Structure 1
């Protein structure tokens, strides 16, 4: 399908798609299904090509508008929005290279990958996190080695938390150079779900976000052709994440903003359904505080996202996405506390939408960048530390 050209129409498509997957959230949260039906609906919607340039058949969205779409989906089905974001984590950096002259190998890679999304409706996912290290690139234990003739690479290792396990067609795997144990450089490789040597463990039974279909991934002598080296360049991953960190973690911000919005909306609905309850000045003040917190977080998220679109890679844009991630991570749990006070039993009754949302918003702190990492980045920015130096961070 052809995606709408006007953003308002795209946002309506996201809202309609969100409404279609919203009824699936409860059963998936209860582990009654694997959550893959929501991703089937997202595939059929065409939204997997949101970031793909228009000349390549996509919508060509900038980062700020992408966050708005992600928040719309997150307000309907938080786990599916997070999975949807993992696809765009690996598409985003590629899409942003549109219009940039690349080497023949990189250009061929870009054409192939975007074609898989647009023409094949293929879903991609990121495979970075490792046990004990999370999503940090430095010190990665998954390794690659080169073939003698230079035509392919061989990957070995284990990833601990891989979203879209069993749902995605391809996984972009981060790996360190196994031929040079002293090197800190990381490269990314596109591994197909059905490549020999690729395996997945059981989907993790999480206390929230079961619908992300997250599982461990093993790579046992997985052969990857050179054409599937991300953008045809080795050793660029750490350099990229330091200079332009927004795709490494900032997409979570939009999804969790949507969940916070849904939590507020369901709280208001619950309060106004009780006769006379909404007329209480105390209750009105509680709702007012929730509204102010949500509005402040949304304003920061929108400003940060639009700044990335306008000034991608600038120090201020990078600082703003860290600030937005931190504030959204703080806002969700605060709204959850407000909802508990206002809604009582509905907020703790297993299976109630409010109870699920209260659990879900707590997990923004788990996703990178974590609160202390966001604050450290902002502190370094304030004191003039060179934030383009990879040695400044533990990534």
Structure 2
């Protein structure tokens, strides 16, 4: 089993240690058939819901325990990347509802997503804007007691299998970031279509969505009109830390695999682990993992302790954890030699899984911009 000593760090409490033990038990018992990605995700959502793990993805009072979210993603990712994905999207997809939704919205959707009876998705990215969310062009036009949505979203996780989408569209209250709003759009709403399924190096359900005169009731509006950008950034503040946690889980598994390899593989009559250069790689991997964990659980603890926003802390956690996990996994592949690039070997699968985490929910270079701006603003008072 991977190093568990971090569970005793002061960022975590007894309830988090108990939760981690429960997640470990559930994760160890999961059986994931990767032959059909869509079906695997549907089955995982049901299994995670039945096991009670999806209770951490939302609550009737809007509270989210970010440390539980991070622990769950870290442990699930260490066991299986698709299990982590299935859990994470139930949280991200309903994050806006949990944090900003009305009592009626929470009451309608969270009991379904927290039990695995409905699959959720977060529809923010557009083909022409990518990380520049303020430049999104999809529109939501008021028409009496309805809004009419027109536009396109892409790279939407759970696209094609989701039962509901949290969709961000321009309502025009002001230019740029201040003119967007958030809506709940059930998958069966007329005018919403899946126009393309997207294939990636690590298979996940991803799609491009088209909205053509898609009518939703005014009650589908999350929060207030014009608050969409604020809502999106608040949700990402929470879930960027958890992306780092997933990367941490991948890195821990890579280190475990590397330790097994270097202790059992011999060169010139001695184990690989006796080579000083190999020891150097192991030292770097272990240090990067601990440093990433400190940043992740610092950010999660700050949010759980009442911080209104953790933009800088979450960006640091995601940037460092994902970039360094890539390095840790690369070292693990190198230590496996030819076996490291053999299809189906654990470290080869990890190598494919980690790459996307440095892009989605804000690419690494975007995180650097965020950190720099936050740091400069603090220095200027």
TM-score category of the 2 structures, normalised to the smaller one: 0.7 to 0.9
- CA deviations over 1:303-348 (Å, ceiling 9, x no partner): 111111113224xx32111111110122112112311321111210
CA distance, structure 2, for counterparts of residue 157 and residue 354 of structure 1: 39
Distance 2:197 2:286 in 1: 36
In the TM superposition, what are the counterparts of 1:197-216 in structure 2 within 5 Å?
Answer: 197-208=191-202, 210-211=203-204, 213-216=205-208
SS at match of 1:172: strand
- Listed as ranges, the matches of 1:197-236 within 5 Å are 197-208=191-202, 210-211=203-204, 213-231=205-223, 233-236=224-227
Within 2, Cα distance between the matches of 1:205 and 1:21? 24
Query: Does the 8 Å CA contact 2:263/2:272 hold for their aligned counterparts?
Result: yes
Residue 20 of structure 2: aligned partner: 11
1:35 deviates by 4.2
Secondary structure class of the residue paired with 2:147: strand
Of residues 262, 277, 292, the one that matches 1:271 is: 262
Aligned to 2:197, what secondary structure does the other structure show?
A: coil
Q: 2:370 is paired with a residue of what secondary structure? A: helix
C-alpha displacement at 1:94, in angstroms? 4.0
Partner of 2:9: none
Residues 229-244 of structure 1 aligned to structure 2 (within 5 Å): 229-231=221-223, 233-241=224-232
- Superposed, which structure 2 residues align to 1:101-112 within 5 Å? 106-112=102-108
Which residue in the other structure is 2:42 paired with? 36
Superposed displacement of residue 33, structure 1 = 6.5
Match for 2:126 among 130, 142, 146?
130
Alignment of 1:258-337 (within 5 A): 258-275=249-266, 276-282=270-276, 283-314=278-309, 317-337=310-330
Shift of 1:41: 2.2
Q: TM-score under structure 2 normalisation?
A: 0.84
In the TM superposition, 1:88-107 aligns within 5 A as 88-96=91-99, 106-107=102-103
User: What is the alpha-carbon distance in structure 2 between the residues aligned to residue 286 and residue 358 of structure 1?
Assistant: 17
Shift of 1:386: 9.7
Do the aligned residues in 1 keep the contact of 2:173 with 2:225 (CA within 8 Å)?
A: no
Q: Is the 8 A contact 2:57 2:90 kept in 1?
A: no
Q: What secondary structure is seen at the aligned counterpart in 2 of 1:218?
A: strand
Q: 1:140 aligns with which of 124, 136, 146?
A: 136
- Structure 2: state its 5+ residue gaps: 1-13
CA RMSD of the aligned region, Å? 3.0
In structure 2, which of residues 207, 225, 237 is the aligned counterpart of residue 246 of structure 1?
237
Q: 1:200 to 1:386 in 2, by over 3 A?
A: farther
Counterpart residue number, 2:375: 382
| Alpha-carbon distance between aligned partners in 2 of 1:89 and 1:32, rounded to the nearest angstrom | 18
Query: Does the 8 Å CA contact 1:63/1:306 hold for their aligned counterparts?
Result: yes
Is contact 1:145–1:179 with CA below 8 Å preserved after alignment? no
Instruction: Classify 1:387/1:220 alpha carbon distance in 2 versus 1 (closer, same or farther; 3 Å).
Output: farther
Partner residue of 1:160? 154
Query: What is residue 10 of structure 2 aligned with on the other side?
Result: none
Q: How many residues align?
A: 364
Q: Tell me what 1:393 maps to.
A: none
Q: Is the 8 A contact 2:141 2:148 kept in 1?
A: yes
- Match runs of 1:339-354 below 5 Å: 339-354=332-347
Q: Displacement, 1:298? A: 1.1
In structure 1, distance between residues paired with 2:243 and 2:380:
22
With over 3 angstroms needed to count, the CA separation of the structure-2 counterparts of 1:23 and 1:353, relative to structure 1, is farther
Distance in 2 of aligned mates of 1:136 and 1:325: 18
Change (3 A) 1:292 1:307: same
Unaligned runs of 5+ in 1: 98-104, 389-395
* More divergent stretch after superposition (5-14 vs 345-354): 5-14
Structure 2 Cα separation of the partners of residues 181 and 301 of structure 1: 34
Post-superposition offset of 1:96: 4.5
Query: Could you tell me how far 1:376 is from its partner in structure 2?
Result: 1.8
